[in-house]
Amino acid sequence: MMTISPGLLNLLFIIFLSLSASIFFLYRIIEQKYDYASAERIRIVQVFLFLFFFLAHGSLLMGVTNMLIFLLVSTALSLLLEILGTNTGWLTSPYKYTNKSCPLPAVMGVPLCYPIVWCALIYISLWLAVLWYHNPLHTSLTLGLPVILVTPLLVLLLDLFLDPIAVDEGRWVWQKNGRYYGVPFSNFISWLVAGSIIMITFNWLAPVEFNLSPATRWFNFSPAILYGLLALASTRVCLERKLYVPAIVAIAAATITTALVLIRLI
């Protein structure tokens, strides 16, 4: 494991907070002042900046090799499962991405931004699960079966408000619309299965022991904090688009995450 001074880690945490603020302000400002396409390019930049932060974060706390394995497994399996979903309707109704999906190239009909986003969503869900099950003051933690099982459930919770937003924006269309704001319920089951496959595969290839320092626990669990911030930002979008049930789910996710962070880290 790499070691780094607490002062530098706290500086990285401040950078993380600054980047997180862009979720609430930057994208919206660009969309209002220019157009959707410009805002979408900003969104992709945000995603990659967070991914670079997660790469540094995971390399420090899980080890470089383990973090690279996580990135490879989560991105590659997400892409594979997306290809199966769009081309065969595996475990869900068939769907197709539109030209509004993202500015990155596509592989067999799947824009590359989506596997990358899935990697990020799994990572923040993983750290929220770790925060829930482990004492933040402990310096050495293992992944554990509860974390492996709960992480996909937390990703599913994100899906309950992120997918209706994406469908409302026209990012993809279903061959047959579902009853949950156009999303079939089978979609949530399929991605719960997908998240479980990804976590089990990652744990099998790289059994992780986290190297934590109580002096920098805010940095340690910054991805868990981002989970709550993402839910909070999504609440506004859901309300603006009259997606009221997803808005309630997002509010609940933001509230629970905030309460857990405050209880465990203060």
The strand pairing partners of 106, in sequence order, are 111
**87 CB-near residues (< 8 Å, 6+ apart):** 94, 108, 109
Say which residue the tokens 């991405």 belong to: 97
Q: Which domain holds residue 98?
A: 6-265
Q: Is residue 246 part of a domain?
A: yes
**140: alpha, beta or left, given left = phi > 0 and alpha = psi -120 to 50?**
beta
Judge whether 125 and 226 are in contact, CB under 8 Å: no
pLDDT for position 30 = 61
Q: What is the pLDDT of residues 121-147, one digit of tens each?
A: 999 999 999 999 888 877 777 788 899
Residue 32 has pLDDT above 70, yes or no: no
Which range is most confident: 10-24, 91-105, 110-124? 110-124
Q: What is the pLDDT of residues 59-93, one digit of tens each?
A: 888 888 999 999 999 999 999 988 888 877 666 77
pLDDT for position 29 = 64
Residue 37 structure tokens = 């396409």
Sign of the torsion formed by the C-alpha atoms of 88, 106, 177 and 253: positive
User: For the chain, what is the largest distance between any 2 Cα atoms, rounded to a whole number of angstroms?
Assistant: 54
Which helix (H) or strand (E) is 32 found in, with range? helix 6-33
Q: Is residue 154 part of a domain?
A: yes
Q: How far is CA 16 from CA 20, 25, 98, 130, 138, in A?
A: 6, 15, 32, 19, 23
pLDDT for position 101 = 61
Residues in the chain: 266
Q: Which of 64-68, 109-113, 228-232 has the lowest mean pLDDT?
A: 109-113
Residue 1 has pLDDT above 80, yes or no: no
Q: Is residue 54 part of a domain?
A: yes
- Torsions phi, psi of 174, nearest 5? -95, 145
The whole-angstrom separation of Cα 129 and Cα 121 is 12
Q: What is the pLDDT of residues 143-192, one digit of tens each?
A: 888 999 999 999 999 999 999 998 888 888 888 888 899 998 888 888 89
Which helix (H) or strand (E) is 34 found in, with range? none
The model's confidence at residue 28, banded by pLDDT at 50, 70 and 90, is: low
Sign of the torsion formed by the C-alpha atoms of 11, 13, 15 and 18: negative
Q: Is residue 141 part of a domain?
A: yes
pLDDT for position 2 = 55
Q: What is the mean pLDDT of the chain?
A: 86
Question: What total number of domains does the chain contain?
Answer: 1
The whole-angstrom separation of Cα 81 and Cα 194 is 7
Q: Is residue 34 part of a domain?
A: yes
Per-residue pLDDT averaged across 199-226, rounded?
86
| Alpha-helix runs per DSSP H in 34-144 | 36-62, 64-88, 113-133
Q: Is residue 139 part of a domain?
A: yes
pLDDT for position 256 = 94
The model's confidence at residue 105, banded by pLDDT at 50, 70 and 90, is: confident
* Crossing angle of helices 113-133 and 145-168, rounded to 10°: 140
The whole-angstrom separation of Cα 206 and Cα 27 is 36
pLDDT for position 55 = 92
The model's confidence at residue 260, banded by pLDDT at 50, 70 and 90, is: very high
The model's confidence at residue 24, banded by pLDDT at 50, 70 and 90, is: low
3-state secondary structure of 3: coil
The whole-angstrom separation of Cα 87 and Cα 72 is 22
DSSP secondary structure of 161-202: HHHHHHHHTTSEEESS-BTBTBB-HHHHHHHHHHHHHHHHHH
pLDDT for position 172 = 85
Q: Is residue 119 part of a domain?
A: yes
Q: Is residue 1 part of a domain?
A: no
